[in-house]
A and B are shown apart, each in its own frame.
Chain A
Amino acid sequence: MKTLLASVGAVGILAAALAVPATPAAAQGKTLTLCWAAWDPANALVELSKDFTAQSGIEMKFEFVPWPNFADRMLNELNSKGQLCDLLIGDSQWLGGSAENGHYVKLNEFFEAENISMDDFLPATVYAYSTWPKGQPEYWALPAMGDALGWTYRKDWFENPEIAAEFKEKHGRDLAPPKTWDELKEIAEFFQGREIDGKTVYGAAIFTERGSEGITMGVTASLYSHGFAYDDPAGSYKMDGVVNSADAVAGLEAYKALFDCCTPPGYTNSYMQEGLDAFKSGQVAMQMNWFAFFPGLYKDEQVGGDKIGFFVNPGQKVEASTLGGQGISVVSYSQNRDEALQYIKWFATADVQKKWWSLGGYSCHRAVLEDPGFADTAPFAANFLNAMGNVKDFWQEPAYADLLLAMQKRTHDYIVAGQGTAQEALDALVADWTETFEEEGKM
């Protein structure tokens, strides 16, 4: 009897094993490594990717690097043809260099074979995160994480009747999220040094970081709104009279004025994390930061929920926002290219994109963003759509690092160190950029 039972059991186990379809990847025991920055959306991606593992049997490993070291670490990895990352969610500005230096796999044939259409994604994100040369239908990444620079404010302070009344008496208008940079400065000045709940608070936390890209990302928010352009006509590399135009000078002066009047003490080398710290600790009335952080801020116990409000980057001459966000690329040195492409295919589907947004990632898929109910899905969703409609990005040239570092230096010298005038800073920037493009053989 025991023998019979054992035999039946063995046959049963064998039958069960045969009945479960073994995926080829599971049989191979493949693991993909995805590299990205260490921030809130990365945690959402870990959660999302569990579905991919369940579906494909391919294990996922993640290499998340803190933002201040992200570019250095990942660009070193690519330049040394490292095989750490199979998939990389890299900054939009890296696209030109990574495409021309062969770091990324070109995805056109793959998209065609798998019926992945770039028309399914918001055109601005395809342009910014996927194409090189810019605007050409040559794709090096799939739009993965839409992002733009936006603002948060202390809604509870703005709605405080005493504060609101005092503001109205002083400025003759309601205390509401600013529509222009002039209004922004006016509000920031109003809050600067004010006592609220027994604490001294300050106007605004803005980007002033010198080491990586911080001050450039912050100052371009003002420059774009004041009508700044990189070259005119676009693609001509004609910068003199454009980069240093009167509008650009006004934009740079506006940012310096905001820095001088209305930032917390010691706020001279601050980027995303310092902004989050200042806002979460109740130090500032407004904060410039990336939309990617807004889901986390909304959930924050101290300053989230009813206490927080969001607004899109104020216009001045035009409506414009600084572009953040990234596309996901397959690293050409990967030993697991097929599996990495499999991940891209899975990630491009509408259902996965919907879940991505629900978990806290910013989808660029039109099925998500053009859903009639999208604007009501989060208090910052409408602002995000608005911002993504008028984003502008920094140079995406292969020499972007040279261009970025020059701007970091010129703007930090003027804004934080107070050296020279805005006109001199932008004239020097034109000279730096001209030298770079001449070295590149583009001028």
Chain B
Amino acid sequence: MNDTSTVRRLATRAAEATPPPVVARVGGLGDRAIAWLFIAPTIVLLLAINIFPLIWTIYLSFTNFRANRPNAAVEWLGTRWYTSILTDPDIWAAMQVTARFVVATIVIQTVLGFLLAVLIDKKFRGHGFWTTLILLPMMLSPAVVGNFWTFLFQPQIGLFNYAVSFVTGLPPSSFQMLGDVSLAPWAIAIVDTWMWTPYVMLICLAGLRSIPDYIYEAAEVDRASKWRQFWSITLPMALPFIMLAVLFRGIENFKMFDMVNLLTGGGPGSTTEVASISLKREAFEKWRTGYSSAFAIILFVTVFGLANIYVKALNRVKQR
């Protein structure tokens, strides 16, 4: 037996031991087909739980369908619900409440979150402890937060009223955070800020930590003041992250439901009735499925449109 035959024999064995290519095993399918095969389950799932419900909701929004009357005839109403919603002063009032809530919370949370991030970015004693403490509210369930803040705001026994009373000298029972039309929206903003400012802080912190040290070192060499460094380096370079935080909080607060529902239920009167509370009432209390589908589509288009405009602005900032 010579070397050549040994090599051939070994090559044959190796060839026998090697599994056939994937293409051969699946009956001659091309790479593209196999790729489709792999992503098909995901696409089917996506179609089933996202796309189909969206299309179905769009269809329902043109009908008088009510989920609590499955046997009733479904009539095609055209754009009646859309016209009705867009001309309904109560819906516009709810949209205004939502807009005020979104703007107020975003402004407060962004300012506070960024300031906290700047503070946490510095190295100091107990740094880890304070970071954990600040992040705690974010880790709580909104149901828990809503319930315990309801107690904190209670005019007769609530700690919040006693704290305000201690600072201002006002009697604790003389003001009602959840029952007063002028204070209730602020009560919700306070709770939302308490819970979600740490989230904004985390994103801003990521932005601050992504700024390379050499830029500051160069600024030091150029004798730029700390204030100048902040305005010319820190803020512009962290801006995309801040804008991202604003986008996330904006979308979240636009569809805010749980906290408002637990704290005020939309009251007093309709003072804190944000769009999602109105939508829930129409969909699951009045069971006006067609109407609420149209309302949901309008909300979706609004958020989607605003988010798209915002993302374009964000991309422009990132490119600078």
Residues of A whose CB lies within 8 Å of any CB of B are: 72, 75-76, 78-79, 97, 101-102, 210-211, 264-269, 398, 401-402, 405, 409, 412-414, 416-419, 439
Contacts of B71 in A (CB 8 A): 101-102
Tell me the complex Cα distance, A439–B80, Å.
Answer: 12
Tell me the complex Cα distance, A385–B264, Å.
Answer: 37
**B159-193, CB < 8 A from A:** 173-174, 176, 178-179, 181
Which single member of B68, B173, B268, B288 contacts A268 (CB below 8 Å)?
B268
Which single member of B155, B156, B267, B284 contacts A269 (CB below 8 Å)?
B267
In the complex, 27 of the A-B residue pairs with CB atoms within 8 angstroms, ordered by the A residue number, are A75-B68, A78-B68, A79-B68, A79-B287, A97-B68, A101-B70, A102-B71, A210-B266, A211-B265, A211-B266, A268-B268, A269-B178, A269-B264, A269-B267, A401-B286, A401-B287, A412-B270, A413-B270, A414-B269, A416-B179, A417-B181, A417-B267, A417-B268, A417-B271, A419-B181, A419-B269, A439-B64
Q: Is the CB of B286 within 8 A of A266?
A: no
Q: Is the CB of B288 within 8 A of A269?
A: no
Known A-B contacts A97-B68, A264-B156, A266-B178; the reply to A412 vs B286 at CB < 8 A is no
Known A-B contacts A101-B68, A101-B69; the reply to A268 vs B178 at CB < 8 A is yes
Known A-B contacts A101-B69, A101-B71; the reply to A265 vs B267 at CB < 8 A is no
B127 at the interface (CB under 8 A from A): no
Beta-carbon contacts of B256-268 to A below 8 Å, as 1s and 0s? Answer: 0000010011111
Q: Is the CB of B285 within 8 A of A268?
A: no
Q: Is the CB of B69 within 8 A of A72?
A: no
Given A265-B155, A265-B156, A402-B288, 11 additional A-B pairs, CB 8 A: A79-B68, A79-B70, A97-B68, A101-B68, A210-B268, A264-B156, A268-B178, A269-B268, A405-B286, A416-B179, A416-B269
Tell me the smallest distance from the CB of B181 to a CB of chain A, in Å: 5
Q: Is the CB of B266 within 8 A of A266?
A: no
Tell me the smallest distance from the CB of A374 to a CB of chain B, in Å: 38
Tell me the complex Cα distance, A28–B13, Å.
Answer: 69
Which single member of A101, A264, A398, A416 contacts B268 (CB below 8 Å)?
A416
Q: Is the CB of A267 within 8 A of B67?
A: no
Q: Is the CB of B179 within 8 A of A266?
A: yes
Q: Is the CB of A417 within 8 A of B269?
A: yes
B226 at the interface (CB under 8 A from A): no
Contacts of B155 in A (CB 8 A): 265-266
Contacts of B68 in A (CB 8 A): 75, 78-79, 97, 101
Contacts of A268 in B (CB 8 A): 176, 178-179, 267-268
In the complex, the chain A residue whose C-beta lies closest to that of B180 is A268
Contacts of A72 in B (CB 8 A): 284-285
Contacts of B268 in A (CB 8 A): 210, 268-269, 412, 416-417
Known A-B contacts A266-B154, A268-B267, A417-B271; the reply to A405 vs B176 at CB < 8 A is no
Q: Is the CB of A401 within 8 A of B266?
A: no
Tell me the smallest distance from the CB of A279 to a CB of chain B, in Å: 15
Tell me the complex Cα distance, A418–B267, Å.
Answer: 12
Contacts of A269 in B (CB 8 A): 178-179, 264-265, 267-268
Tell me the complex Cα distance, A270–B173, Å.
Answer: 17
Q: Is the CB of B267 within 8 A of A210?
A: yes
Contacts of A413 in B (CB 8 A): 269-270
Contacts of B179 in A (CB 8 A): 266-269, 416
Tell me the complex Cα distance, A101–B72, Å.
Answer: 9
Tell me the complex Cα distance, A140–B284, Å.
Answer: 24
Tell me the complex Cα distance, A267–B178, Å.
Answer: 10
Tell me the complex Cα distance, A347–B265, Å.
Answer: 38
Contacts of B286 in A (CB 8 A): 401-402, 405
Q: Is the CB of B156 within 8 A of A266?
A: yes
In the complex, the chain B residue whose C-beta lies closest to that of A400 is B286
**B173-228, CB < 8 A from A:** 173-174, 176, 178-179, 181
Tell me the smallest distance from the CB of B215 to a CB of chain A, in Å: 53
B9 at the interface (CB under 8 A from A): no
Contacts of A417 in B (CB 8 A): 181, 267-271
Tell me the smallest distance from the CB of A434 to a CB of chain B, in Å: 14
Tell me the complex Cα distance, A153–B28, Å.
Answer: 87
Tell me the complex Cα distance, A405–B261, Å.
Answer: 15
| Highest count of chain A CB atoms <10 Å: which of B70, B265, B269, B288 | B269
Known A-B contacts A265-B173, A269-B264; the reply to A79 vs B269 at CB < 8 A is no
Contacts of A401 in B (CB 8 A): 285-287
B100 at the interface (CB under 8 A from A): no
In the complex, the chain A residue whose C-beta lies closest to that of B284 is A72
Contacts of B156 in A (CB 8 A): 264-266
Contacts of A210 in B (CB 8 A): 264-269
In the complex, the chain A residue whose C-beta lies closest to that of B67 is A79
Tell me the smallest distance from the CB of A184 to a CB of chain B, in Å: 22
Contacts of A419 in B (CB 8 A): 181, 269
Tell me the smallest distance from the CB of A301 to a CB of chain B, in Å: 22
Which single member of B70, B264, B267, B281 contacts A405 (CB below 8 Å)?
B281
Q: Is the CB of A416 within 8 A of B285?
A: no
In the complex, the chain B residue whose C-beta lies closest to that of A81 is B70
In the complex, the chain B residue whose C-beta lies closest to that of A283 is B156
Contacts of A412 in B (CB 8 A): 267-270
Contacts of B269 in A (CB 8 A): 210, 409, 412-414, 416-419
Tell me the complex Cα distance, A101–B270, Å.
Answer: 31
Contacts of B261 in A (CB 8 A): 211
Contacts of B90 in A (CB 8 A): 409
| Highest count of chain B CB atoms <10 Å: which of A76, A409, A418 | A409
Tell me the smallest distance from the CB of A147 to a CB of chain B, in Å: 23
| Highest count of chain A CB atoms <10 Å: which of B181, B261, B266, B267 | B267
Tell me the smallest distance from the CB of B89 to a CB of chain A, in Å: 10
Among all A-B residue pairs, the 5 with the closest Cβ atoms: A417-B269, A268-B179, A266-B155, A413-B269, A265-B155
